[in-house]
Chain A
Amino acid sequence: MNKGIWFIVVGVVLLLIGSYLGLFVAPAEQYMGEVQRIMYVHVPTAWNWMLAVIFTFVAAIAFLFNNDYKWDARVEAGLEVSALLATLLCVQGAVWAKPTWGVWWDWDPRLTSVAVLLFATLGIIALRQFVDDPRRRAIWSSVATIIASVDLPIVYYSVKWWNSLHQQQSTPETVSSQFHVPLRINAFAVLFLMIGFIMLRSEIARRQLANESADGWNTREAGELA
């Protein structure tokens, strides 16, 4: 059995505990009231999306240096999980924005830079679908991933560099101590889920590469993948 399953099981259990505490135990925030409880899923999603983007960036560099297709499988997994978390991040943010900002979406620097990276990620996933040659697909998507990752520091610092409608980063240092426990539990929950997702998705990608190898591609390079 893929060990990723156990990470997902632990992640789900932690998410249930953290969400219960966030919904029913933690106090409402002074100004945002009950809607601030969205923070307990939104902020962990944001942190772990950033980690997923960094993982994909590292995997892309590792592939270009090592020419090892296990890293290409990890790039494919990282891209898909990054796209999932970024989409979720935007939707959660929109649901939080409506009652607090009065709009579902605003083209402010933080939201725009996240949207740019989300569409870049989706573009790279589409690129991988359209390129049949595994070598070109791996090289092109690794290079595109590295270029797209330049946007991540812009996302992170956008709320400091520009006059953003989005609040400053929410960390245990910037939020009340009463909110720490559910925030931290859900942060680990989404971390475990993200690791489990990447492990399972990497195995799928490795097996697909091995099948391509069986179909006549360079068997020496992909023979040990599955």
Chain B
Amino acid sequence: MSGVVVGGWEYVWAAYGITGAAFAIYITSLIVRLRGARKS
């Protein structure tokens, strides 16, 4: 046990991927809902 984290890129990619996906989905949801609200 060196106390140093070795590797771990899969966690880094997971964190960035989840963040990007969450923002992309939310932006899409806002645009869809805004269009719906403007039509009604």
Contacts and interface: CB of A to CB of B under 8 A. Distances in A.
Nearest to B3: A31
A35 B37 contact: no
A8 interface: yes
Contacts of A33: 4-8
Contacts of B31: 200
A23 B20 CA distance: 14
A23 B19 contact: no
Dominant secondary structure at the A interface: helix
A92 interface: yes
A98 interface: yes
Contacts of A204: 30, 33-34, 37
Contacts of A35: 5, 8, 11-12
B27 to A, nearest CB: 6
Contacts, number: 78
Using C-beta atoms within 8 Å of the partner chain, give the interface range for chain B. 20 to 34
Interface residues of A, number: 36
Contact of A41 (B16, B27, B40): B16
Nearest to B18: A91
Interface string A1-33: 010000010001001000100010000001111
B1 to A, nearest CB: 11
A95 B18 contact: yes
B22 A84 contact: yes
A221 B28 CA distance: 31
B34 A2 contact: yes
B30 A197 contact: yes
A45 B38 CA distance: 30
B17 to A, nearest CB: 10
A8 B22 contact: no
A23 B38 contact: no
Interface of A: 2, 8, 12, 15, 19, 23, 30-35, 37-38, 41-42, 45, 84, 87-88, 91-92, 95-96, 98-100, 193, 197, 200-201, 203-204, 207-208, 211
Interface of B: 3-9, 11-12, 14-16, 18-20, 22-23, 26-27, 30-31, 33-34, 37-38, 40
18 contacts: A8-B27, A31-B4, A32-B5, A33-B4, A33-B5, A33-B7, A34-B7, A38-B15, A41-B15, A41-B16, A87-B22, A92-B19, A95-B15, A98-B11, A193-B23, A197-B30, A203-B37, A204-B37
